[in-house]
Amino acid sequence: MRLDDRIPRDAPPDVRTAVAGAAPGWPLVLYFHHVHPTLDHYTSLTPASFERGLETVLADYGPALDPASAEADMAPPAAPTVLVTFDDGHRDNLDHALPILDRLGVRALFFAITGLAGEAPDRSMTWDELRGLTAAGHRVGSHTVTHRKLPELAAAEQHEEIAESLAAVGDRLGDPRPPLAYPYGMPPTGAAVPPGTLAFGTVKARPRPWTAAPHDVRRTYLPVGREQLWPRLCREWRQQWWHASP
């Protein structure tokens, strides 16, 4: 993806990786992991940075997409929208991200590792807490049962990781067609994803229309520690949305 003059040509590698947003005319999908005031990790934003990031995206890109409308057969939106997603079901999402989401009126999609839900309540959300998120208008999807790299597993194991986790989300939370996010952004090697399931990759996936690649939708991110570039990054994503749009 070419960097235009709004993004410095000597931008850091993480910004260059993030700069490709969505396919023209399709929702931008952002993914987050930790939101924590003291955790020092390359996937962690402080609550203040997370709030600043969401405010920037909403102001410079477009409004949040209701995760309930995110389906493999959905029609593209009429204007730029952003789907906010979280991976892994970390407790800090509940403690620190949720109040900010609520304050900004954003509903998000949380991908839970179903085999770990409630196993370590000090680190991950429980099923009751995930149920509370859905009751509040958020959505919960599958991040597989154990968060292993799917291409490294035998075909039967890939199927179990995906099918069992999707069934757990559906049975416990009442979502008839929950979405899926691949651990490490690595899709399975076979046909393990059920038809009709919307499945998300990471920046490893190419920007393609959801109807063309419903099992490998690209997600991108706000690079940690690059707050000064976030507004320009959002404007670049917005330009990409309009480029070649009908």
Is residue 180 within 8 Å of 196, Cβ to Cβ? Answer: no
* In the chain, domain spans: 13-236
* Interatomic CA distance for residues 222 and 212, integer angstroms: 25
pLDDT, position 41: 86
pLDDT per residue rounded down to tens, the chain (246 residues): 344 446 766 788 999 899 999 999 999 999 999 999 999 888 999 999 999 999 999 999 999 999 999 999 999 999 999 999 999 999 999 999 999 999 999 999 999 999 999 888 889 999 999 999 999 999 999 999 999 999 999 999 999 999 999 999 999 999 999 999 999 999 999 888 999 999 999 999 999 999 999 999 999 999 999 999 999 999 999 999 987 544
Q: Which whole-number Å values give the CA distances from 140 to 20, 27, 68, in the listed order?
A: 26, 18, 10
Q: pTM above the 0.85 mark? A: yes
Cα–Cα distance measured from residue 148 to residue 184, given in angstroms and rounded to the nearest whole number:
8
Q: Which amino acid is at 189?
A: T
Nearest to 61 by CA among 240, 225, 219, 210: 240
Residues 241 and 23: their CA atoms lie apart, in Å, by 7
Take residue 239 and report the two structure tokens written for it.
Answer: 């330009």
Contact criterion met (CB below 8 Å) for 114 and 145: yes
Q: Which CATH architecture has domain 13-236?
A: Alpha-Beta Barrel (3.20)
